[in-house]
Structure 1
Amino acid sequence: MQTHHLNINDPAFVYDPYPTLADLRENLPVFYDEVWNKIFFLRYEDIANLLRDRRLGRSITHILSRDELGWPPPNPLTRDFDHFQENHMLDNEPPKHTRLKGLMMKAFTPARVEGLRGKIQKIVNDLLDRAEDRGQMDLLTDYAEPLPVTVIAELLGVPEEDRHRLRPWSAKIVKLYELGYTDTQAKEANQAVVEFSAYIKQLADERRKKPGEDLISALVQVEEQGDKLTPDELVANCILLLNAGHEATVNGTTAGFLALSRNLEQMERAKEAAAKNQPEFFKLAVEELLRYDTPLPMFERWVLEDFDYKGIPLRRGQEVALMYASGNRDPRKFADPDRLELTRTDNFHLTFGLGIHYCIGAPLARLELQTSFQTLLKRLPSIHLATDTIEYAGGFVIRGHKAMPVAW
């Protein structure tokens, strides 16, 4: 296997990774990066196959100890963060993952998500009501961020006066999913987990005494064959819902609007569909925007047992990096993949994953994005970028923007 170093945190790469990814996808679609100690895969077929392969998983310490892996002792700076990781479904494998996901899905039902449709529309309308007369706003802080955070808060049953605390907690926690985070970021993430956990425990205690219609009340009560979520599992999975439940939507909103702004013909088609109230158009459009500029561009998996994949030796304890952003632009899968085509129908993208770890929040993210884009373009048909300079907030794994000024 060839070696190559991809500096995914290079600001120039974060700003526009697609030319580099296209070159690697054609000429070096699999390589080992000694700096990150990961094997990178860049083609759609390989990523899709490995996501479905149960010989890889999101965690490894359930089958190998830290000593066996050659890892140093746990970092005391991330003790509470590590405990959070151990108790949510995303970073666990069967049978624990199966149990946790089954319990979560009993509460996080399609009917509960569909029941949020009216609330999502009201939140979107309220956000636009506040901004409309100003003639300008920051699409990130005034629209993209408040929408999913408010929706998740509604879902969990977080009182309105406490909701301002959720986004800062989440923003600090997700820094630890980047490669090469600092000790300062580790301390801040750990403290955010401590504070967020204490808050969710308090809410859960209140819901045990006085249940409501919210998800925390449902999770407190949910049971499967005598099995319940432990207090730590309930807390960890509620935090996971906020983190995973809004990062894709926030980044998907700003990245999607940026893509439309750089493809004005497609922007005009979207505005026309919004004016004509065509929700079916936006169902397709959102899938294309999620493919075209992937909100969470890379996910990792551990190799759980030795095997060869297409002649490539994968050994237990190794880590693979699956470049969703590259797979979503693979011409072997998508016709003319670098072209934004909002009515694209053959669009089985990788953005929400595949296999047992497929994102349970995907229906909610889709509903939020469809509603937010359709309403935004209908109510503000002259909306446009108000800057020539777009900056990204940090690394590649959580690829979000610093700001996105718009005007109308």
Structure 2
Amino acid sequence: MTYPSTSPEAQGTPGAADAGTAPRADGPAAAFAPWSPSFVADPYPAYEELRAAGRAHWFAPTSQWLVPHHDDVSALLRDRRLGRTYLHRFSHEEFGRQAPPPEHEPFTVLNGNGLLDLEAPVHTRIRRLVAKAFTPRMVDDLAPTVRELAEGLVADLRADGGGDLLAQVAEPLPVAVIAEMLGVPPADRGLLRPWSAAITGMFELNPDEETARRAVRAAEEFSAYLRELIAARRRDPGTDLVSALIAAHDDGDVLTEQEMVSTCVLLLNAGHEATVNTTVLGWLHLLRHPAQLAALAGAGGPEDLRDAVEEMLRYDTPLQMFERWVLDDIEVGGTVIPRGSEVALLLGSANRDPARFTDPGTFDTTRPAADNRHLSFGAGLHYCLGAPLARLELTTSFHTLLRDAPGMRLAEEPQWRPGYVIRGLERLLVTW
């Protein structure tokens, strides 16, 4: 059994990749190269090496334990000895970590009050209240809006004779849906995506100080905007989610204003990143697998594409890694990982694990959803609250494009964005 170093020197080198000196690792973890463009373009051979070499690997450049196997990742996502935060049990000093710089406070307060970075009992309380507002019926009621938006965006793309599928369809659809759900006026919707992009930049490995400054500025601006929106809905409630969050109560308990702000930001960030990138990556793989594309062309409705969408989520998940703090010692494959460590749960590797999936390296849109237990939406306490909405948007947009834009093909070989944790393309140019 092995233990990692917990010295300050082993806690990563923020910004090293941006300085042109991407950190290196030794041993089996050397295959893991998240700052390498070639790795980002295709991390799956490296994942295969990691799975073959063992169940937990120390990665010194980020001071994390890499966990590549499906069963381990699935179990650790549900294991309450791990957490997205440690502050419900320990101070920074007790946990052997440095507190975030004071100048990052607008970002850390916004992020730290969101469901994704909370643990029970606070997480349980907030999720229960949010679930009273963000209901299955609300998602079902959005179906006509999603369909109308998708049809309009696809019609414009087709009228232009092609263009960037990311910028013209994949990105505006979920942002417009979230904005509609929150009650953000159409004139303000152009603000949302830039704010989200700046904030989610902090979720990449070892973000540099310029990334932090952009995230802080976006957190300040987005929070101020939402506080004004909340105040307006308090004065004049509507049928939108913000009004429902204000009204949500449970035995007299209600959400604080900060909890509402953080919830709305999380719904935008998490609620559209997966949809945008799954749309683009899904179409990339369909266009590279013409037989699969032809088989889907006759789908009668969005419901006929459910298995295909689950396969897209499994085969090339946009969220490649989910991180957890180790709150109590755990053991993975004979390796003891002590309290105070951080584990990097490799969702992309877990989704290609041959111990769980038959022929996992094959893109098969006929793979039954019942046998496709991918981890792209997480598992356990932090399972994605917006998964039903993401599935609605994905099945609707794919059905609309298949029906209204037949014969679509790639206009150029796409380039990958540099980010690894949230992985996607710079653009996807298509034509007819």
What TM-score does the superposition give when structure 1 sets the normalisation length? 0.97
Closer/same/farther in 2, CA of residues 303 and 310 from structure 1, 3 Å limit: same
Counterpart pick for 2:170 among 130, 135, 144: 144
Give the aligned partner of residue 13 of structure 2.
none
| Alignment counterpart, residue 367 of structure 2, candidates 344, 355, 358 | 344
In structure 2, the residue corresponding to 1:69 is in which secondary structure? coil
1:60 corresponds in structure 2 to 86
Matches within 5 A, 1:1-400: 1=2, 4-5=29-30, 6-273=32-299, 277-345=300-368, 346-388=371-413, 390-400=414-424
Deviation at residue 270 of structure 1 after TM alignment: 1.5
- Whole-angstrom CA distance in 2 between matches of 1:183 and 1:297: 23
Give the CA deviation at 1:149: 0.2
CA distance in 1, matches of 2:285, 2:320: 15
Query: How high is the TM-score relative to the length of structure 2?
Result: 0.91
The more displaced of 4-13 and 227-236 is 4-13
Q: CA deviation at 1:394?
A: 2.1
Task: Read off the aligned partner of 1:175 and give its amino acid letter.
Answer: G
Distance 1:177 1:31 in 2: 21
Separation in 2 of the partners of 1:67 and 1:293?
A: 38
Partner amino acid, structure 1, of 2:335: I
SS in 2 for 1:300: strand
Asked whether the equivalents of residues 77 and 186 of structure 1 are also in contact (C-alpha less than 8 Å), the reply is: no
Map of 2:24 onto structure 1: none
**Cα contact 1:41–1:320 (8 A) shared by 2:** yes
- 2:11: which partner in 1? none
Q: Distance in 2 between matches of 1:244 and 1:83?
A: 17
Q: Separation in 2 of the partners of 1:282 and 1:198?
A: 39
Identical amino acids, percent of aligned pairs: 47
Look up the match of 2:16: none
State the alpha-carbon separation in 2 of the partners of residues 168 and 407 from structure 1. 27
1:74 CA drift (Å): 2.2
Q: Secondary structure at the match of 2:97?
A: coil
Kindly state the Cα deviation for residue 81 of structure 1 after the two structures are TM-superposed.
0.5
CA distance, structure 2, for counterparts of residue 226 and residue 7 of structure 1: 50
Identify if the C-alpha distance between structure 1 residues 215 and 352 changes in structure 2 by more than 3 Å, giving closer, same or farther: same
> Partners in 1 of 2:221 and 2:298 — Cα distance?
45
SS in 1 for 2:278: helix
Task: Tell me the SS of whatever aligns to 2:66.
Answer: strand
Aligned-pair Cα RMSD in Å: 1.2
- 1:307 deviates by 3.1
Give, in whole Å, the separation in 2 of the partners of 1:247 and 1:352: 12
* CA distance in 1: counterparts of 2:76 and 2:355, whole angstroms: 17
Give the AA of the match of 1:279: P
Matches of 2:198 and 2:100, distance apart in 1: 20
- What letter corresponds to residue 133 of structure 1 in structure 2? A
Letter in 2 for 1:290: L
Extract unaligned runs of 5+ from structure 1.
none
Amino acid at match of 1:248: A
Per-residue deviation at 1:354?
0.6
Q: Distance in 1 between matches of 2:81 and 2:245?
A: 31
Which segment is superposed worse, 64-73 or 152-161? 64-73
Deviation at 1:312, TM superposition (A): 2.2
**Who is 2:429 aligned against?**
405
State how far apart, in whole Å, the 2-side matches of 1:279 and 1:391 are. Answer: 29
Per-residue CA shift, 1:195-241, capped at 9, x if unaligned?
Answer: 00000000000000100000000001111111111111110110010
Q: Which amino acid aligns with 1:356?
A: L
Query: Structure 1 CA distance, aligned partners of 2:186 and 2:363?
Result: 38
Q: Note the residue ranges of structure 2 that are not aligned, 5 or more in a row.
A: 3-26
Distance 1:336 1:35, change over 3 A: same
- Alignment partners' CA distance in 2, 1:280 and 1:348: 18
Provide the rounded CA distance (Å) in 2 between the counterparts of 1:140 and 1:85. 26
SS of the counterpart of 1:132? helix
Query: Aligned residue for 2:8?
Result: none
| Alpha-carbon offset, residue 70 of structure 1 | 2.8
Go from structure 1 to structure 2 and tell me whether the alpha carbon gap of 1:73 and 1:89 turns closer, same or farther (over 3 Å shift): closer
* 1:160-212 superposed Cα distances (whole Å, 9 cap, x missing partner): 00000000000000000000211111001110000000000000000001000
* Distance in 2, Cα, partners of 1:14 & 1:366: 25
Name the amino acid aligned to 1:359.
Answer: C
Task: Report the alpha carbon displacement of residue 3 of structure 1 after superposing the two structures with TM.
Answer: 6.7
